[in-house]
Chains A and B, each alone.
Chain A
């Protein structure tokens, strides 16, 4: 069967699964809509969190980004996993003990202030919309690349699916579909990774494979017998040197910048509302801790394979394409030429493809629809004078993997289904945050406190539905600023929620004045820095102009430090919080207080699992 047939079948089957799951698990109360009645087993919650967390970017782009960045790419690997340690130890168990529905609700109650709640709910909505825009676009892109439908049709199909299971099922429906989506995405990622690892190094575990020696079969594929028996990374370093790149295992970015970016990503992860609310769905406090561990376990299955895929793909790419005559170019190269992810411009007219560090063309390839004398697709872009003749999109490192490994068509189709699963699961998690912020925090919490549960549930569904439509519009008409502000989502989460929640739990004396000053200063500072370098004066966005050499991606870490410092100082000089609040903080710290005659299961879980 052809790739397209297989893709339609697999995508159809997975979508059918999501819808069936959603109908079976539809939510009929606000408790089910916001927290799945707190009945999710920690292992299942770990899987759901993994799918919730790993977005289209993790699945499609991350390995490619790393393969172009070398060791510096590890900032994403560390930054997007380290936050779970913070979640497990500093946030999840205590917020679960609090036993309410949303993050803004906790902040509003802890700091006994509606304004604090409103600031948080605006941040939550802003962060989630920034993030969800990219996901809907990702759905459209996967559809267009694998199924040749227009991107916009893909976005609309994705919208319909998410609409059904997020609006109907709420958190309960989303959780179970996310579990299914995790299974699909991890299988889709690992099969090609394992195959390529075996092909090149005879090691079935990709994470070990990229530290192994190249097998005889691998040397044959790389068309260079001299590589046999040498360590893969040594070979790649050698190739990099020959072509004029810096060594793959070395880094070029300044350490201080890396340091702050990793802090911002880790803390941002721990402060992202769609990740935090996943921990509200487990029955007990110790389940919240355990499910953070399971979540990280399921995430590192993919995250330890990603750097391996990066190395395999990069070595294979350079070896089989560089200095090879176009007539002998690998089949996958020719297949992907039409997608705009790869292009070759024969600058010196020798018919050979030369690769190097510079840019081959300006911007993304624009195809003229004509082919050159050797059958290569021609582009209309401005050609640079750099000797590099190849344009390579980072996404191709994952998307073309199954073809590079010469895997059967159904595996290629599975990668498409996996990419869709990754994008849809993250989108659903974000939509829930938006919906809960609107119905629970804004409508019920601020505007109409006397609303009935039924009314609130109605608002929650409307909020989710409205959010799906807006997210879809963002996907169809991608605002140019989305790519610029994704770093902003992390920076903002790091500079706003994280310090407010941590201090709310670990310091009884932090009061509303400290929290408000800290949050406003942290958000204001981070926003100003990013807006200045990304929008007002993008030309100045160079290390020489950055404060202390910290890029806009890492500035959220400084915003966080400012927030913490102000919170501490201002709380010292203003009246301490009421006794009632201090008692509340005290209570958060213990799973149960037996003497107080508390129930054995601390909060209102209907039944454990």
Chain B
């Protein structure tokens, strides 16, 4: 692979990561927190109806985890394609 192809592979992989993570982002907030919230509310976890929990806390905490995952994946990817800043 030439350097140019390598860099393009790096970018493609980055876009794949973003797509997958943003699908989860969409699912936990828009699907669990808004669209299907009433159905999920029939399930109770401790004192929380599940849909209510997703909307109030679950989505926010998962957002944070998504960024953590992305940061780690990208640090690895930067190293793999030698674009890591020391």
**What residues of chain A have their CB less than 8 Å away from a CB belonging to chain B?**
71, 74, 77-78, 81-82, 84-85, 88-90, 207, 210-213, 231-234, 249-251, 255, 258-259, 262, 266, 284-286, 289-290, 292-293, 296-297, 300, 303-304, 307, 506, 589-595, 600-602
Interface size on B, residues (CB 8 A): 47
Is the beta-carbon distance between B52 and A84 smaller than 8 angstroms? Answer: no
Q: Is the CB of A262 within 8 A of B41?
A: no
Closest chain A residue to B65 by CB distance? A293
Residue of A nearest to B52 (CB): A249
Residue B80 lies at the interface, judged by CB distance under 8 Å to chain A: no
Contacts of B68 in A (CB 8 A): 293
Pick from A90, A231, A285: contact of B47, CB below 8 A.
A231
**How many Å from the CB of A203 to the closest CB on chain B?**
10
Find out whether the CB atom of A593 lies under 8 angstroms from the CB atom of B60: no
Q: Are A232 and B47 in contact, CB atoms less than 8 angstroms apart?
A: yes
User: With the chains together, A259 CA to B78 CA distance in Å?
Assistant: 35
Expressed in whole angstroms, the Cα–Cα distance for A251 and B51 within the complex equals 11
B→A interface (CB under 8 Å): 3, 7, 10-11, 14-15, 17-18, 21-22, 25, 29-30, 33-35, 37, 41, 45-49, 51-53, 55-57, 59-61, 63-64, 66-68, 70-71, 74-75, 78, 82-86
Q: What's the Cα separation between A590 and B7 when bound, in Å? A: 8
Instruction: Tell me the minimal C-beta distance from A68 to chain B in angstroms.
Output: 15
Residue of A whose beta carbon sits closest to that of B46:
A211
Cα A211 to Cα B49 with chains together (Å): 9
A78 and B7 contact, Cβ closer than 8 Å, known pairs A89-B22, A286-B75? no
> In the complex, are the beta carbons of B34 and A262 less than 8 A apart?
yes
Contacts of A78 in B (CB 8 A): 29, 33, 55, 59-60
Q: How far is the CA of A329 from the CA of B60 in the complex (A)?
A: 37
Q: Apart from A249-B52, A303-B60, A592-B84, what are 10 other A-B pairs with CB-CB below 8 Å?
A: A71-B55, A77-B56, A77-B57, A89-B21, A211-B45, A259-B35, A293-B64, A307-B57, A590-B10, A591-B83
Complex CA distance for A232 and B48, rounded to whole angstroms: 9
Q: Are A88 and B71 interface neighbours, CB within 8 A?
A: yes
Pairwise interchain contact B56-A594, C-beta atoms closer than 8 A: no
A601-B86 in contact given A71-B37, A296-B64, A304-B61 (Cβ < 8 Å): yes
**A308 → chain B closest CB, angstroms:** 9
- State A207–B53 Cα separation when bound (angstroms): 10
A202: min CB distance to chain B, Å: 13
Residues of the A chain whose Cβ atoms lie less than 8 Å from the Cβ of B56: 71, 74, 77, 307
Tell which of B37, B60, B71, B75 touches A77, judged by Cβ atoms closer than 8 Å.
B60
* Chain B contact residues, majority secondary structure: helix
Q: By CB atoms of chain A within 10 A, which of B21, B22, B45, B47 has the most?
A: B47
CB distance from B4 to the nearest CB of A (A): 9
Contact status A293-B67, CB under 8 Å:
yes
Q: B57 CB to closest chain A CB, in angstroms? A: 5
Cβ of A601: which chain B residues have Cβ within 8 Å of it? 85-86
Establish whether residues B63 and A81, one from each chain, have CB atoms under 8 Å apart when the complex forms: yes
CA–CA, A286 to B64, complex, Å?
Answer: 16
> Among A210, A212, A290, A601, which residue has the most Cβ atoms of chain B within 10 A?
A290
Taking a contact as CB atoms under 8 Å apart, the answer to whether B60 and A600 are in contact is no
The reply to whether B83 and A593 form a contact with Cβ atoms under 8 Å apart is: yes
Q: What residue in chain A is nearest B14 (Cβ atoms)?
A: A589
- Chain A CB within 10 Å, residue with most, of B7, B10, B18, B55: B55
Residues of B within 8 A of A84 (CB): 63, 67
CB distance from A232 to the nearest CB of B (A): 6
Q: Which residues of A contact B45 (CB under 8 A)?
A: 211
Q: Is the CB of A289 within 8 A of B33?
A: no
Give 8 closest A-B pairs by Cβ, nearest first.
Answer: A231-B47, A74-B55, A293-B67, A211-B47, A307-B56, A211-B48, A249-B52, A284-B85
Residues of A within 8 A of B49 (CB): 233, 249
Contact of B70 among A89, A212, A297, A602 (CB under 8 A): A89
CB contacts (< 8 Å) of B14 on chain A: these are: 589
- In the assembled complex, 19 residue pairs joining A and B whose CB atoms fall closer than 8 Å, in A order, are A71-B51, A78-B33, A78-B59, A81-B59, A82-B63, A84-B63, A85-B25, A89-B21, A210-B47, A211-B45, A233-B48, A249-B41, A255-B35, A266-B29, A286-B75, A292-B67, A293-B67, A593-B3, A600-B85
Complex alpha-carbon distance, A74 and B75, angstroms: 33
CA distance A210 to B51 in the complex (A): 15
Are A286 and B78 in touch, CB under 8 angstroms? yes
| Residue of A211, A258, A259 with most partner-chain B CB within 10 A | A211
Which residues from chain B contact A602 at a C-beta distance below 8 Å? 85
Q: How far is the CA of A259 from the CA of B7 in the complex (A)?
A: 37
- Cβ of A81: which chain B residues have Cβ within 8 Å of it? 59-60, 63-64
- A592–B71 CB distance below 8 A: no
- The answer to whether B3 touches A595, judged by C-beta atoms less than 8 angstroms apart, is yes
